[in-house]
Structure 1
Amino acid sequence: MSYEAIIYETQGSIAVITLNRPKQMNALNKTLLSEYVDALKTAEDDGNVKVVVVKGAGRGFCAGYDALDQGGSYDPNNPKNNHPFIEDKKSLDMMWGASTTAWNLTKPVIAQVHGHCVAGGNDIAGQCDIIIAADNAIIQQPQVRRLGLTFNHMYPYKCGPQWAKILLLTGDPISGVEAEQLGIVAMAVPEDELEAKVMALAERLALVDQTMMTTNKLAINRVYEAMGVNQARDTANSLDTVAHAAPIMQQFATTAIQDGLKAALAENEAPFNASPRPFKIPGMPEE
């Protein structure tokens, strides 16, 4: 099957989905998200596929959601946006539904993360069953500083409430090695070994009987669902529409419209660039 924004291929019993907008750092637009969902469902329906790998083309895994593809839902002055809250909620529901597809698949999905994994990139990777990252990957949720929430709330489950709050209240970046220390990724490996390690794991998973693998995945997922993961994601999704009405968010939209997206992002990051990160990850050497 031919896609515009992803590449779908199979290698034996492994399906590989590549986010393929390298010039945009694989930023998630509506086309990519729709094709991502379709590719996952294709893998789900293929009896020869037992494991799925998701990765990014070019210099990084994913730079987040494409701000130029949101239909003006964040801009209350957009004349086409007569019902900004409703349009925003529709857009968020679409993104939330797309990112959770991997979680609901009966087959295991491995995220192969290199380079930047930012904002919506974490929504995609975080709903995969296993994340293997390059040790020099940059994992970050910068949108929490001025653009809203992350509605894929896996950090509290993976690294506990305190580190989840440090990362999701500051929006500070961490490396793949740091993410491994915190449990956000399963392991961090040298970037030049990343693909080989991921495929070796995928091949090992594929040795397991399909029924055994599916029932065990679903049983593990039910543990987190019993702990409220679906409700937490839905609540954060709804709260995101509230956050988008904040004055700081409107300032970002105004700067982006008047001076361009790069200027708005620079304005967002300036105070943090001037302030050193005050913590280190447990087990990591001093910077």
Structure 2
Amino acid sequence: MAKWLQSTEHLRFAVQGRVARIALNRPDRRNALSWEMLCELRAALLEADDLRAVSVIVLEGAGPDFCAGYDMKSAYARYAAEGSAAPDYRSGSGSFDDDAWKLERFQELLRTAFVLHKPVIAKVHGHCVAGGTDLALYCDMVIAADDARIGFPATRAMGSPPNHMWIYNVGPQWAKRLLLSGDVVSGADAARIGLVVASAPADRLEEEVMALAGRLASVEPELLATQKRIVNLALELAGAGTLARLAAEMDARAHLSRAKQQFDADVAAHGFKAAVQKRDAPFGEGVARPSW
């Protein structure tokens, strides 16, 4: 296990052999992504990319979950403050263009793992939903616990993934199957459909992730960068960068829907947790399973 050398409100950072370990460190909030956490995460990823002693980066989550999505509690509070206390600046709850602009700023932070020279492995356990999937799918490879829950339930009422790497991992039909329903898949089934590179029993996840990280770390970092960057350039040529920009605009468009307006009204009247329960009630267990 990693011996954590640095710890902040939002992150833990360590170097273990030639592997940098970065852990989201808000377990009380299920590692929900706030603006402050993402700024720290970008700095930590760039630090690991800069260190000559590091060849590979592992991104993980402290506590029972990898990441339960965007921190909507702080987001709603921030939008309210922006609209009243800072009228000279854009508000995420303002116009369509204001919303897209804010989403693009988050997108730049989340995309950091993708643009680094060194490979990043996401170690996923527990919940990896909504913004958690945006973060994990920008990593170069994902290894998940068999019982992890991966998906974007927010598509049922709140919007669309503002960072859209789904189609590049699972193709159009499974991307539609998951995003049109908001259903989740287990880590084991995510491996079957190609959403993650592998899965393992929860008690062996650390072993599996570090075995792959150690294998990659035996290769010279400049060669690792060569292979990563040519594959990512292929993704760019396939439209990944353009699609991400369009995804932010589609999310802003989805925020204008009647479903999102009703969801926001439910949040105001009953609180976020109750609004989510109402949103998800028609979907029962809400799990998609491959038939094979």
Match of 2:183 in 1: 172
Give, as a single letter, the amino acid of the residue that structure 2 aligns with 1:106: H
Across the two proteins, how many residue pairs are aligned to each other?
281
Match of 1:211 in 2: 222
Q: CA RMSD in A?
A: 2.0
Matches of 1:259 and 1:81, distance apart in 2 = 27
Residue among 43, 46, 54 paired with 1:49: 54
Give, as a single letter, the amino acid of the residue that structure 2 aligns with 1:280: R
Matches of 1:137 and 1:267, distance apart in 2 = 23
Matches of 1:280 and 1:55, distance apart in 2 = 25
Q: Report SS of the residue matched to 1:70.
A: helix
Matches of 2:28 and 2:286, distance apart in 1 = 30
Stretches of 4+ aligned residues off by more than 4 angstroms: 71-75, 77-83
Q: Deviations over 1:243-269 (max 9, x none)?
A: 111121111111112211111111111
Match of 2:20 in 1: 15
TM-score, normalised relative to structure 2: 0.91
Task: Tell me if structure 1 keeps the 8 A contact 2:113–2:139.
Answer: yes
Task: Tell me if structure 2 keeps the 8 A contact 1:181–1:282.
Answer: no
Once the two structures are overlaid, the 10-residue window that deviates more, 47-56 or 244-253, is 244-253
Asked if residue 280 in structure 1 is aligned to residue 280 in structure 2, the reply is no
Which stretches in structure 2 are left out of the alignment for 5+ residues? 1-5
Aligned pairs for 1:1-287 (under 5 A) are: 2-72=7-77, 79=84, 84-85=94-95, 86-273=97-284, 280-283=289-292
Give, as a single letter, the amino acid of the residue that structure 2 aligns with 1:102: A
Once the two structures are overlaid, the 10-residue window that deviates more, 18-27 or 82-91, is 82-91
Give, as a single letter, the amino acid of the residue that structure 2 aligns with 1:207: S
Matches of 2:218 and 2:31, distance apart in 1 = 31
**Identity, % of aligned pairs?**
41
TM-score, normalised relative to structure 1: 0.92
Matches of 2:152 and 2:172, distance apart in 1 = 16
Match of 2:3 in 1: none
Q: 1:9 to 1:276 in 2, by over 3 A?
A: closer
Q: Report SS of the residue matched to 1:219.
A: helix
Shift of 1:118: 0.5
